[in-house]
């Protein structure tokens, strides 16, 4: 697989990363199967793996899976929630950042973290203090690069002025295009990479979800306004568009969605997650789909005429971690 640099940083990774969070969901495969899947991702060309302290035992899983090939992969993890796991209250105090770093290093079975993201901005802690703390960790060799998640343009600029930001991780896909308003241009100006999570719209852009789909009772999409039955009906034109293009290209809808993201900017590296090997292979196939200028123009023109309805998260969650 081809590689990409995250902005102006020296962090060079596979064009597609692997979001490991879902491997710690209640319906995830067994530990042994998950480790096998992560190693299969590496064998298929992926060397960029994303986890977080807040994802339950995910760091332990990723650490065990990648330990034999640690020197050949890049691991990204995150800090910024009180107590690390199972909490929704943000905490990016210097003490919390350091404690999170030490915990992540142990859980990941490594001496350094390739990319250390602030999981969500903490309004109680100046971003300069956050950047300064991570700068100290970088100087100590415990962290290689600093990243932000879901930060606005002003916060990105302030953080970057104190310590170079290698990458921003935020949601971005055909299903959620808010970063196009200001974020992407800011990242391009500053030389910062962009790592979109949910690049397949939490499964919506695979073409397998319709208004009649019944989610399992443990599925988080049950509480997401965007995935209500009514909103799925209203958002169906987007799915129809992606499915139509996929048929023309002899590809899957997921591959078209990933190809569209990759062609937006050379510093974009999506991190789709999956618990199934055939989906992993399908996603990787998206890096080989080449959209022509005409095809891209057709897609973007159609997207301008499609309004996506429904908020990403319930109000009580948005109030605590931002939109």
Domain extents in the chain: 3-321
pLDDT band at 310 (very low <50, low <70, confident <90, very high): confident
Give the active site residues: 55
3-321 homologous superfamily: NADP-dependent oxidoreductase domain (3.20.20.100)
CB atoms within 10 A of CB 172: 25
DSSP letter, residue 258: H
Q: Picking from 2-6, 131-135, 253-257, 290-294, which range would have the lowest pLDDT averaged per residue?
A: 290-294
pLDDT band at 88 (very low <50, low <70, confident <90, very high): confident
**pLDDT tens digit string along 179-207?**
999 999 999 999 999 999 999 999 999 98
Cα–Cα–Cα angle for 122, 126, 127, rounded to 5 degrees = 75
The sign of the dihedral angle between the CA atoms of 8, 169, 61, 48 is: negative
- Crossing angle between the packed helical segments 94-107 and 127-139, to the nearest 10 degrees: 40
Q: Give dist(CA 308, CA 304) in Å, integer.
A: 10
Could you give the 3-state DSSP secondary structure of residue 4?
Answer: strand
Q: So what's the pLDDT on residue 135?
A: 98
pLDDT band at 323 (very low <50, low <70, confident <90, very high): very low
**pLDDT tens digit string along 33-78?**
999 999 999 999 999 999 999 898 999 999 999 999 999 999 999 9
**pLDDT tens digit string along 135-165?**
999 999 999 999 999 999 999 999 999 999 9
Dihedral angle at the C-alpha atoms of 218, 220, 223, 228, nearest 10 degrees? Answer: -100
Instruction: Output the six-digit token pair for 141.
Output: 């060799």
pLDDT at 101 over 60: yes
**Interior/surface letters 93-121, b for 16+ CB within 10 angstroms, e for the rest:** beebbbbbbebbbebbebebbbbbbbbbb
**pLDDT tens digit string along 205-264?**
998 898 889 888 888 898 898 999 999 999 999 999 999 999 999 999 999 999 999 999
pTM: 0.94
pLDDT at 321 over 60: no
């Amino acid at each position: 697989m081809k590689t990409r640099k995250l902005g102006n940083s020296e962090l060079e990774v596979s064009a597609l990363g692997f979001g490991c969070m879902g491997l710690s969901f209640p319906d995830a495969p067994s530990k042994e199967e998950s480790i096998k899947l992560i190693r299969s991702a590496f064998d298929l060309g992926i060397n960029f793996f994303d986890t977080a302290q807040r994802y339950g035992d995910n760091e332990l899983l990723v650490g065990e899976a990648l330990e034999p090939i640690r020197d050949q992969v890049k691991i990204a993890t995150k800090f910024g929630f009180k107590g690390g796991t199972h909490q929704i209250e943000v905490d990016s105090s210097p003490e919390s950042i350091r404690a999170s770093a030490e915990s992540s290093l142990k859980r990941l079975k490594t001496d350094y973290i390739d990319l250390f993201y602030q999981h969500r901005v903490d309004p109680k802690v100046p971003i300069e203090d956050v950047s300064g703390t991570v700068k100290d960790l970088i100087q100590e060799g415990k962290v290689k690069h600093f990243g932000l998640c879901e930060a606005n343009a002003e916060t990105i600029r302030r953080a970057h002025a104190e310590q170079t930001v290698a990458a921003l991780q935020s949601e971005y896909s055909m299903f959620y295009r808010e970063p196009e308003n200001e974020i992407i241009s800011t990242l391009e100006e500053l030389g910062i990479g962009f790592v979109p999570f949910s690049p397949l719209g939490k499964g919506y852009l695979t073409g397998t979800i319709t208004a009649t789909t019944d989610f399992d009772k443990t599925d988080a999409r049950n509480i997401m306004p965007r995935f209500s039955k009514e909103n799925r009906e209203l958002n169906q034109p987007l799915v129809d568009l992606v499915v139509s293009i996929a048929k023309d290209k002899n590809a899957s809808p997921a591959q078209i969605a990933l190809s569209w993201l990759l062609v937006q900017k050379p510093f974009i590296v999506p991190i789709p997650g999956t618990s199934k090997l055939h989906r992993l292979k399908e996603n990787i196939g998206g890096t080989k789909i080449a959209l022509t200028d005409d095809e891209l123009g057709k897609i973007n023109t159609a997207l301008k005429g499609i309004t996506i309805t429904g908020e990403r998260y319930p109000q009580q969650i948005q109030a605590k971690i931002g939109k």
